[in-house]
Structure 1
Amino acid sequence: MSHRRYSLWLALALLVGLVPRLWLWYEQARAGVVYPGDQDEYYRGAIHIVLTGSYYDSGQWLRPPFLSIFLAGLFALFGMHIATVLLVQAVLSLGTLLLLAELARSMFESHRAGVMAAVLAAVFLPYASYASQLLSETLFTFLMAATLLLAEAARRRDLDWRWLLMCGMVWALATLTRPISLFALPLGVGLVLFSGLLRRIIRQPAVEALPPRRRLIGAVALVAGFVLLLAPWSLRNYAVHGHFILVDTNGGTSFWLGNLRAPDERELQFVWNETIPNLAERQQVAVARALENIRAEPLLFLSRLRNKAVSLWQFDVRLFAANAPIGITLDERSLAFAVASDVQYVLLLLLALVGIVFARRHEHHLVLLLWPVYGTLLSAVSLGHPRLRLPLIIFAFVYAALPLAHPQRIVAAWQHGERWRRVVLLGGVLALGLLWFARVYIPFGQSQFWLVQGNTERAIAAMPDNYLPYVAQGDRLRAAGDTAGALHAYDAAAERNGQSSYVQLQRLDLLRRADDAAGAQAAMDAIAAVGWGNNTLYSWAWEHLPPYLPEQIDIAAPAPGVLRACTRPNTTNAGRCFAGHTSGHRCG
């Protein structure tokens, strides 16, 4: 493939990737809502920079700064309009596709592999979804992909110190976005220093023959680039807080939250927030508490290591089986979206496994392969969640591109290659199956089968503790005009998943139509408690709930934020706006 054709195919991949990003931006970000938790803290950091020129230091912990700096730059360019900034971020996320394409092209010396890596990342729904959220996944994934590409460039140039210097600088930016990459630096330095000892694994004579002095200079350049960008932030933290804070104080708290002895121990965080004003000292207390918990119950710690590692790589569908979904947007509420994402995820990892097994020895990029192993170990000792794996699966797009770009090579290697490769491949598939399998999927799958058949009663019987069959039953009864039956079904769903904004919104709407103000207020309070009493939910309610025409309007009554079916002012009611029988005009 010529360079011109390669560029054209990459441009097409970017256009393909733009479609799901714009679609999901329109679905979940056009209202410009900032959700409580991580998003709110990144937003506060950005606003503080825009308004005062300094960072936000008065939260419950100190967040890494680079995402807030990035958002502040977008606010400065495009104004204080969150939806626009998220749209720009979604478009900029396409840059990750180009980095993955170049990494695959360089490793396999194949333009076709580069195109395939870009296409895989373009259509991957989780990447598209997080591209329009105020979270660090998109920026961190971009920076880690750039770090790995620079590491590959240095490897192919006999560990040229200039490339390693740039690699260290970008690595520092990634660490200032999410600090999980911090402790991987010694691993990278070790691979540079002792590359000769790894020759039997990487089989690269050029690297093997490098003199110790060149490897040492390369390692120093890598560390120097890293320190050059990280040190100013660390020194600033010491000046502000009087303690050495390398990047943030969130890591120590996450370590403690992942090693609680009892769920109610979490409440200590609010006590510390009130009684320990210094963020560094607050983190020290959290780390000490975590270590105390581990010493008190080491077996519990060991069992949780496995559970958190498995949780990191589990399916998104498991959230639905566990009655955990909260939001109203497509990626939060739709089981079909979760299934589609999981199917992509399974195919991606299986293809990557094929690529890893049948790649030639010199095509094994050790930093790239060790990155997900390192991330899994780190999650095992702190927190494990499917969202946290998104930056770790960079390797999967690169290696999955190989069998798609060169299937004949894979078939030939299967038929005529070493037997151990086939054994490793089958063993890897079995290991992934054991990693993904959970017994809850059996009754959940049976329940969903009956829902697809339209039999909600059998779906409920298959998994009575799951909220989804009751939601389907409520939707069906409401569409049929049986509001009392629908409310009963939604109540049953709320008993199983009281966090679901969709369920509580349906209850709120039906209860206010039944003049049950207390019940409607309770449903509205449940929505607000999980942070979804916002414009995204109100916009969804306007577009999806049927019109409601009360005899009179009480602006203090609980409602999902909008009024419907208001008449246009005329000569007899000039300046007035009241509920009537003419629909199609909004009144606020």
Structure 2
Amino acid sequence: METYSTQRVGRSFEESRRPASRGIVLPRVSSATLIIVALVLIGLAMRLWFIAVNDIDPRFSAADDGDYYQRALHLAVTGRYVDNSWLIRPPGHVFMFAGLLRIGIALGDPTVGIALIRGVHVALSLLLVPLGYDLARRLFDRRAGLIFATILAVWFPFVELPALILSEPLFLSMLGIHFWLLVRWRDSYRQWRRSAPWLLAAGVALAVASLARSPALYTAVFVVGFVVVEVWRRMRDERQPVLGVPTRDIKPFSGTRQPDRYMRSPSSRGQWSSPHDGRWVLSAARASLIFLVPFVLTIAPWTIRNYVTYQRFIVIDTLGPVNLWMAMSDAVNEGRGENEAKSILAAIPQEQRQDFVSADISRILREEPTRLVRNFWPYFTHIWKAQFIEDFFVKVSFFTRPLREIWPMGVLGDLLWLIFTPVSLIALAARPREGGFRLLAIGWIAYSCLTVMLIHVEPRYLLPIWFLMGLYGAASLSWLGDWLGLLREDRANAADDALHFLRSPWGIAGLVLMLALIWQIFSYRDYPQIIAQGIQREIHRAAGASAYAAKDYPTAISEYEAMLAAHPDFVDGRTELARIYLDMGRYDEGWAILADRPTHRANVIRGALARAQHDNKAARAYFEDAEQRAGENVQKLTLEWLNPPPTSSLTLGNGVDFGYLDGFSFGEYLPPQPDGSLATYRWLQGNGVIALPLPTPLRAGSVLSLRMTGVTPGATPLTLDVGGARITIPVQSGQWRVYRVALPDSLAGQSRIELRLHAPTFIPLQLDPQSTDARQLSLMISRVSVE
């Protein structure tokens, strides 16, 4: 029974007599809540900043994001799911994308679906901030929760991830939710509260993560181990939960002197038999089934679909066997590359590919067993690198990523990584007091390392490692903060704690592992030299770009050459220098500086060089390859980037119209003309721009002609803005016509005219149920000329 002082009772009585007119008393908000809200807002601002400067567009990509987008769009349009051309991929994120794209289509603009996908990704990533705080708080303490929430909010890979139309945003979010649900189950289970719903939801979350990235499927084994350990611990210790969540679970400097999270209750002694009896086994089995049943039931419909479609037992996908085979294949081993391996698979029926790769892997292991592990050490060392420095200063291209625009975020990200990654090993090697979660964390880290060591290292495949090392790094930093606070208050006790930590085997193991990792990180690259050379590269590149903008070509060339002296393999810099040679008409030097360095932007310049030398066939091949594969809007890029040859007549869709237009679909052919010639056109996609640099200044009384047609019933109004005048042309459907418009006399003497076009759009599939075309279209335009 709780007692109160008379002073407290009297104060309560007086407060009850106060009039209600004082207003509503707002609930107190803890400082932790305010910090989490601030971190979410900061994280949102950083993610929106990245999205605002990001030019990567899955509509124009031949990489994984383009594949996911195209399959999701096909699913949204037709309701039919089509597997990738050379393997069966996980479907979870594709279904999510399709649902959001369908909303965009219903709103009349499929590109809205891309914005919705990114919006959902941002929401999921920000949801991890408060959940990450609660996860670390429950496992360690409040300060660790705040540190981990900060990492989740501002670390650059977590900021960049939501902008990408990939499987990893959904996968990582579901994985984080899965970890949080498991710890909520653990706490409820230890406190004898209703816990089954938490474990059931954890099974569903891991299943959704597996349907986004199938390697998560096999980590159910780790969860069963976690569950078994937690059941064993509760029954072994005959524990009664302590109400609330303590803020001090473990300090690495104090060894066994700190109390555990849960204390033995004397009154409960003897309630349980030894944890090794049959009751423990049954309890562990029952809890494991609560997790496994929803996990299996969530995945089972897709497994059944695969069996019905291919008559093979394929749980989720064939990604693992196919990727392992590609890494070990004769084509890759002999230096012919992955494209040959993909072409081999593409020639085999989809249902037979897993059987083929499994048989060929067995053959390779019989003939050359070491091929499986030949890259283990190189790939292992490649995991532990400062990723932004690698991307910015080491790689040959930015590959369309806006690294230069967001470099402060990237630098901050590498600094955070260099702190939390090494110190996380202190917590991972400390005496395990967070229960079975240590088993789960080490299992995931080791498993993620193993998968990339077997196949290849990609930064997005490493995200589970950094998530968990960030969690344990936050614990180590929190412990360090506790010790520094003690050092200020009581130096003797702080020194005693430190000495105890340094003498314990747990502390020694953690320090050895941390120092070994620091050595590995800094021995992998000569970071001081790389950064110094990279800064010189950027200084010369900025000076060269400024000189080019001022048309001081000799200075620009000199600065770009100095840039390449600092980083000879930087293809983006070579591409910009080749653009200068293109503008100067020094085409051979442009070809020479590009050499055979392959990037999509380099192909844009190759196309412009070929066009300038009147090799339209080669120009078209380069331009169209870039347009379809670059991962960015090449029409927009070339309109801003190139100075195309002057012309008074532009044929759209012939592959050499880049640099003159933006806002149009890919080029298409009309049916053969009576004389056998082939005419081309492009669809205007609502809003477009056509810019014509003229060979001679425009004369007064000049006329603009446009050859075009519509397809919707009646006339389609085309609004044309040119020279400050706005003109509306009713474009008739069903036949090609040439429409002539008098140009304003105010344009006389101009050497360049810019046309801005707008027409109402439609989506073909909404007009024709048999269509699978989800593009936003308006008018077909074949030629624009000035007469």
- Is the TM-score greater than 0.5? yes
Match of 2:634 in 1: 537
1:281 to 352, 364, 379: 352
Which secondary structure does the structure 2 equivalent of 1:228 belong to?
A: helix
Q: CA deviation at 1:466?
A: 4.9
Between the two proteins, the alignment pairs up a number of residues equal to 576
- 1:581 corresponds to: 751
- After the TM superposition, which of the residue ranges 355-364 and 281-290 deviates more from structure 2? 355-364
The one-letter code sitting in structure 2 at the alignment partner of 1:373 is A
Equivalent residue in structure 1 for 2:133, among 95, 98, 101: 101
**8 A Cα contact 1:451 1:469, kept in partner:** no
Match of 2:598 in 1: 498
Post-superposition CA distance 1:348-372 (Å, at most 9, x none): 4245345546787337832134312
1:320 deviation in Å? 6.2
CA distance in 2, matches of 1:573, 1:473: 38
Equivalence for 1:271: 344
The answer as to 2:121 corresponding to 1:86 is no
Cα displacement (A) at 1:238:
1.1
CA distance in 2: counterparts of 1:561 and 1:130, whole angstroms: 33
Q: Helix, strand or coil for the counterpart of 1:258?
A: helix
User: What secondary structure, in the 3-state scheme, does the structure 1 residue paired with 2:434 have?
Assistant: helix
- Secondary structure of residue in 2 paired with 1:564: strand
The match for 1:167 among 202, 211, 216 is 202
SS at match of 2:61: coil
AA aligned opposite 2:355:
Q
Alignment of 1:77-226 (within 5 A): 77-79=103-105, 80-81=110-111, 82-92=113-123, 93-110=125-142, 112-158=143-189, 160-195=195-230, 211-226=280-295
Q: Measured at CA, do residues 350 and 165 of structure 1 come closer, stay the same or move farther in structure 2, by a change above 3 Å?
A: same
Amino acid at match of 1:71: F
Q: Which amino acid aligns with 1:289?
A: D
Say whether the 8 Å CA contact 1:98–1:118 is kept in structure 2.
Answer: yes
- What is the DSSP-based 3-state SS (H/G/I as helix, E as strand, rest coil) of the residue aligned with 1:247? coil
2:537 equivalent among 451, 464, 484: 451
Output the CA distance in 1 between the equivalents of 2:561 and 2:400.
Answer: 25
Q: Hey, what's the Cα distance between the residues in 2 that align with 1:162 and 1:528? A: 49
Structure 1 pair 453/15, CA: closer, same or farther in 2 (3 Å)? Answer: closer
- Contact (CA 8 Å) 2:426, 2:514: kept in 1 or not? no
Aligned match of 1:16: 42
- CA–CA distance in structure 1, aligned partners of residues 475 and 121 of structure 2: 27
Q: Is the 8 A contact 1:165 1:225 kept in 2?
A: yes
* CA distance in structure 2 between the aligned counterparts of 1:434 and 1:326, rounded to whole angstroms: 25
* Map of 1:352 onto structure 2: 424
The equivalent of 2:691 in structure 1 is 564
Letter in 1 for 2:602: V
**Amino acid of the residue matched to residue 174 of structure 1?**
A
1:67 aligns with 2:106: no
The 2-side partners of 1:410 and 1:506 are apart by 58
Q: Which sits farther off after the overlay, 121-130 or 238-247?
A: 121-130
Deviation, 1:136, is: 0.5
1:27 alignment partner, one of 53, 76, 100: 53
Counterpart contact for 1:25–1:90, Cα < 8 Å: no
CA separation in 2, counterparts of 1:28 and 1:242? 42
Q: Output the CA distance in 1 between the equivalents of 2:572 and 2:67.
A: 32
Q: Which residue, 305, 309, 326 being the options, matches 2:380?
A: 309
Preserved CA contact (<8 Å) 2:87 2:319? yes
Amino acid at match of 1:550: P
2:323 maps to which residue? 254
- Look up the match of 1:396: 469
Partner Cα separation in structure 2 for residue 253 and residue 165 of structure 1: 32
Greater share of residues in helix: 1
2:441 aligned partner: 368
Unpaired runs of at least 5, structure 1: none
Mean CA deviation greater in 327-336 or 238-247: 327-336
Deviation digits for residues 486-523 of structure 1 (CA, Å, limit 9, x no counterpart): 983x6455336322x33343454566567665774564
Q: Distance in 1 between matches of 2:509 and 2:328?
A: 37
Q: 1:41 to 1:461 in 2, by over 3 A?
A: closer
Gaps of 5+ in 2: 1-26, 238-249, 251-259, 265-273, 487-493, 541-558, 662-689, 705-739, 758-783
Q: 1:561 to 1:27 in 2, by over 3 A?
A: farther
Shift of 1:135: 0.4
Q: Aligned to 2:510, which of 409, 424, 428? A: 424
After TM superposition, the structure 1 stretch with the greater mean CA deviation from structure 2, 14-23 or 321-330, is: 321-330
Change (3 A) 1:406 1:546: farther
What SS class does the counterpart of residue 448 from structure 1 fall into?
helix
Q: CA deviation at 1:270?
A: 1.7
Larger Rg: 2
Aligned to 2:13: none
* Higher relative contact order (CA closer than 8 Å, sequence separation 6+): 1
1:481-520 aligned within 5 A: 483=584, 488=589, 491=591, 494-495=594-595, 497-499=597-599, 501-509=600-608, 512=611, 517=616, 520=619
Asked whether 1:438 is paired with 2:504, we answer no
CA distance in 1, matches of 2:363, 2:405: 38
Larger proportion of strand: 2
In the superposition, relative to structure 1, how do residues 561 and 248 fare at CA in structure 2: closer, same or farther (>3 Å)?
A: farther
Q: Quote the offset at 1:284 in angstroms.
A: 1.8
Q: Deviations over 1:17-58 (max 9, x none)?
A: 112222222333685625224223322442343234342247
1:49 equivalent to 2:75? Answer yes
Residues 22 and 87, structure 1, Cα contact 8 Å, conserved in 2 = no
Instruction: Report the secondary structure of 1:176's partner residue.
Output: helix
TM-score, normalised with respect to structure 1: 0.83
* 1:330 alignment partner, SS class: coil
CA contact under 8 A between 1:147 and 1:170: conserved in structure 2?
A: yes
Q: Residues 331, 298 of structure 1: CA spacing in aligned structure 2 closer, same or farther, 3 A cutoff?
A: farther
What SS does structure 1 have at the residue aligned with 2:43?
Answer: helix
The AA in structure 2 aligned to 1:17 is G
CA contact (8 A) 1:511 1:519 kept: yes
Task: Kindly indicate whether residue 633 of structure 2 is the aligned counterpart of residue 550 of structure 1.
Answer: no
Cα distance per residue 1:547-580 (max 9 Å; x no partner): 5561434433262462536799996425458995
Change (3 A) 1:509 1:27: farther
Identity across aligned pairs (percent)? 20
**Is contact 1:549–1:564 with CA below 8 Å preserved after alignment?**
no
Distance 2:593 2:71 in 1: 37
Letter in 2 for 1:11: V
How far apart are residue 244 of structure 1 and its match? Answer: 0.7
Residue 418 of structure 1: how far off its partner (Å): 0.8
TM-score normalised by L of structure 2? 0.64
Contact 2:604 2:623 in 1 (8 A): yes
Cα distance 1:378–1:410, how it changes in 2: closer, same or farther (>3 A)? farther
State the distance in 2 between where 1:467 and 1:546 align: 18
Report the AA paired with residue 604 of structure 2.
L
Q: 1:358 to 1:301 in 2, by over 3 A?
A: closer
Q: What residue identity is the alignment partner of 1:431?
A: L
Q: Which amino acid aligns with 1:524?
A: F
The 8 Å contact of residues 232 and 280 in structure 2, kept in 1 or not, is answered as no
**Does 2:399 match 1:327?**
yes
1:94-128 CA-to-partner distances (Å, cap 9, x unmatched) read 22223222212222241x43333222222222222
